[in-house]
Chains A and B, each alone.
Chain A
Amino acid sequence: MSVRVAFLPVGSVSAVHLDELGRIPAGAWGAVDDQPWMATEGSDGLELLYLSQEEYQYAVRGLPPDEIGQAVLHRRKTFSADVPGQALGAVAQRASACLGHLSDDATAAGVRADLLNALASFTAVNRLAQTAPLDLLDFLREGDAEIVAELESPSVRAAGDFDRDGAERETRRRFAAALGQIAASRGQPEKARTLPYFDVERTYFVTPSHSAIEQRAKIVGDPIRAWRDGVILPMPERMASDVRAFGHSVTVLFPASGPFIGALTALTPAQFEVELAERMTSPGFAPYLNARRAQQATLRVAAYLITGADAEIGRVLAEHAQEEASRLGTWLARDAAQAPGLDAMPAKLVAVVEAATLLVTLCRRQGRLAIASKVEALARALTHVVQDVGS
């Protein structure tokens, strides 16, 4: 039986037992079992906060008791208020993370390919179905170039062994070059000669602050946060040495601007403090790179599924997708703290399917039937992957 963390607003009634974890004037929150929650008829007073107790515990780690209530209130605004809007992304993101729990043998490669196929079919294919084939090839070239640039960046190289022998970079360059050849043969000759340039950007803690980089961040629309005796902001990695040369201390806190923006959106100031303290020692390159690798692999399969009728593109993408599925285990496993293996993966994917099932129920209760259908279809495909592992 799966357990979620839910909020019951004051004045609301629920027939489902709430194993209370905390209480504030606005209501109480606690652990709830899936089955009775899904069995209730029609609308229920409960609001979903977190899809597992582990996620809740992680979110409130290190917080003083009075700040936990603030974190819960914030979560109600950023997640609970529109669960249907976030349902598909939440399931896909958790299923994608399961790729890291597969080893690098032939059996795992097959499972990984199935999982990527399920993810691509019910997420990226829907979104990008109308994209022109050559544009899809551009997205893939840009994604491969981005990961190559990340792996070659000084800060990633200083942080650990992410691609010491260069095999991943070589593979991605080869993929991008092959797609460039196709584009060249179809009226874009320059793509045979050049790879996309990717400008590596990090989010830094700069102390003391520097007015020019603050102005730059404001102009390009990046968020800026004053912190301790300095400032946190995104900037191109190529600028970091210049800022250091002016006598400023420059520390990477987030591997890109996106995770910084995500943290500002999702976290209360107290949660943000906890996050920053942890990131001062580890900015989180490994999970960021793994997520980008998984997104790129999913995009590649989606591009294959969308352009399948084009024999030349379909053949090349099929080869690339197969090779990527077999190599992804090595690329991801190198960064994973936990030992990957086929044993751990089915249970994790089952948990994702169970979460999806609850989300489908909640979407239906809110009348968001189209989203419910999408999540249900993805859950069904993930179930097949689990069954294939079992067989």
Chain B
Amino acid sequence: MAACYHVWDHPDLQGKDAFASVDIDVPTIDGSSTETKSFQSLRNDMDKLRSDGVAKGIVDAGIVDVGTSTEGRQLWALKIGKRPDHKVLFTGCHHAREWISVEVPFLVAKFLIDNYTPTPSDEKEKRIKHLLDNREIWFVPLVNPDGHNHSVLVQRTWRPNRKEYAFDQDQVIKAARFGGGSRTIKVKAGSYRGVDLNRNYPTATWGLETPATSRDPADSKYGVWAGPSAGSEVETQAIVALIAAQNFRSSITYHNFSQLLLFPDAAAHDTFVQDVGKGMSKLIDANGNPYKYESGNTLYPTTGDLMEYCYGVLPGRPTFTPEVRPRENGPVSSFFSGLPESEIEPTFKENLGAALALINCAGFDAPAKSVTIKWTSDTHVGQVVRNCWKVFQGLSP
């Protein structure tokens, strides 16, 4: 079980055993100094999971990454499971400083591989075998490796990617607002660094401004700049290409903080998605630390985010955004970046059942091209929901 956070990779860990750690002097949250913390290499540990999974016949040895970042880092990936027509996508760390969002999908992948056996002897092993024999699960736990690296080494609170855009001259941008209206933005000549990857997806609403989405590159510092154009970033493009190629039946993208489980606004009346989401919410809440279940736009309206993109291109397919620990942004929780290492395991555990339910629901025959799934009877809905998540109630990691 991970006792510390991951970095994308570290030279001192090359050639070392998986789960070995190295001390790194990271900037303190206030930027005034450094503190020494232990980190593991995501490259090493993903390699270890891959080799373990290959030995068990449940991981594709050929899938190592799904693309490359602006600064040339690979977006590490794992493909687990045997059933290519029932695919699920797990992503983490679109926002650099949300370190815990790497750990949850990584630990879900580790849990599945560690607990898979071809000859299950108890109920837990049978359930996991069923999942991996009947699904194909893609894990991309670090979508923004450049930003994450910057957060670990240079500025703890860094949130966007590290792409730089130069404006040679002063410019004026007319930006439309989500919900109507517009404003004029005066952009000063200069270079601006950092696009919010979770505002950059080529959705129908990309670039419409909200309080959490800006067209002003001066807001790059605060990590809410949508970028110069829809899908402009190579990291976004990599995930878009993956989604286009794999036709996922369900997906989930981890963030922090707030302790919420968010669903797409467009899925508010989608019976299947709502039933799966409510079931996942119950599984989280059963651990005694409830997450509020609500629409993504209840938290604050965003445009160009992955969840909205997934539901747009794969309507009717369950897609969610957990905003994991802490509940509040405050000193006790270290202002959410670098949530204390002691919180990694509890955060994973409380999200595990919901993650397994999401994987399970990909086995149900949700039509890909309809806007909503029209279930013909409540009984059928109930059956789907039970099958999606109830079997994982009480499952212990």
Q: Write the residues of chain A forming the contact surface with B, with a CB cutoff of 8 angstroms.
A: 82, 84-90, 92-93, 123, 126-132, 135, 138-139, 142, 145, 190-191, 193-199, 201, 212, 215-216, 218-223, 236, 238, 256-259, 261-262, 264-265, 291, 370-371, 374
Contact = CB atoms under 8 A, between A and B. Distances in A.
A194 B190 CA distance: 5
B168 A193 contact: yes
20 contacts: A127-B24, A130-B10, A130-B11, A190-B166, A190-B191, A193-B168, A194-B166, A196-B193, A197-B192, A197-B218, A220-B222, A220-B224, A221-B97, A221-B336, A223-B335, A236-B222, A261-B335, A262-B31, A262-B32, A370-B23
A126 B36 CA distance: 12
Say what secondary structure dominates the interface of chain A.
helix
A92 B211 contact: no
Contacts of A128: 153-154
Interface residues of B, number: 49
Nearest to B167: A194
B188 interface: yes
Contact of A223 (B37, B97, B300, B330): B330
Given A197-B191, A197-B192, A223-B329, A123 B25 contact: yes
Interface string B67-81: 000010000000000
B34 interface: yes
A88 B36 contact: yes
Given A193-B168, A262-B29, A220 B223 contact: yes
Contacts of A261: 29-30, 335
A223 B257 CA distance: 12
A305 to B, nearest CB: 16
A335 to B, nearest CB: 17
Interface string B284-328: 000000000000000010000000000000000000000000000
Given A85-B35, A129-B11, A193-B168, 11 more contacts: A85-B37, A89-B28, A93-B32, A196-B190, A218-B329, A220-B223, A221-B336, A258-B30, A262-B29, A262-B30, A265-B30
Given A215-B300, A219-B212, A261-B29, A236 B218 contact: yes
B221 interface: yes
Contact of A86 (B35, B157, B217): B35
A373 B300 CA distance: 48
A89 B25 contact: yes
A130 B164 CA distance: 20
B224 A89 contact: no
A195 B190 contact: yes
Contact of B168 (A89, A126, A194, A216): A194
Contacts, number: 134
Nearest to A234: B222
A236 B221 CA distance: 10
Interface string B148-173: 00000110010100001011100000
Nearest to B302: A219
A189 to B, nearest CB: 9
A142 B34 contact: no
A194 B191 contact: yes
Given A194-B168, A199-B218, A88 B191 contact: no
B395 interface: no
B181 interface: no
B15 interface: no
Nearest to B190: A197
Given A127-B25, A194-B167, A139 B154 contact: yes
B33 interface: yes
A89 B28 CA distance: 9
A38 to B, nearest CB: 21
Interface string B271-285: 000000000000000
A238 B218 CA distance: 10
B35 A89 contact: yes
Given A191-B166, A199-B221, A258 B212 contact: no
B33 A93 contact: yes
Given A191-B166, A223-B329, A259 B35 contact: no
Closest 3 CB pairs of A and B: A262-B30, A197-B190, A190-B166
B189 interface: yes
B218 to A, nearest CB: 5
A239 to B, nearest CB: 10
A127 B153 contact: yes
Contacts of B222: 199, 220, 236
A277 to B, nearest CB: 20
B205 to A, nearest CB: 17
B180 interface: no
Given A86-B35, A258-B30, A196 B191 contact: yes
A212 B164 CA distance: 29
Contact of A127 (B34, B219, B334): B34
Contacts of B192: 196-197
Contacts of B34: 88-89, 92, 123, 127
A142 B193 CA distance: 10
Contacts of B153: 127-128, 131
Contacts of B97: 221
B332 to A, nearest CB: 9
B331 interface: yes
A126 B300 CA distance: 40
B127 to A, nearest CB: 37
B344 to A, nearest CB: 16
Contacts of B26: 127
A99 to B, nearest CB: 15
A374 B368 CA distance: 57
B189 A291 contact: no
Pick from B28, B33, B35, B167 the residue with the most CB of A within 10 Å. Answer: B33
A220 B37 CA distance: 25
Contact of B159 (A86, A196, A221, A291): A221
Nearest to A267: B331
A221 B196 CA distance: 13
Contacts of B37: 85
Nearest to B218: A199
B189 A194 contact: yes
A190 B192 CA distance: 12
A128 B212 CA distance: 32
Nearest to B328: A223
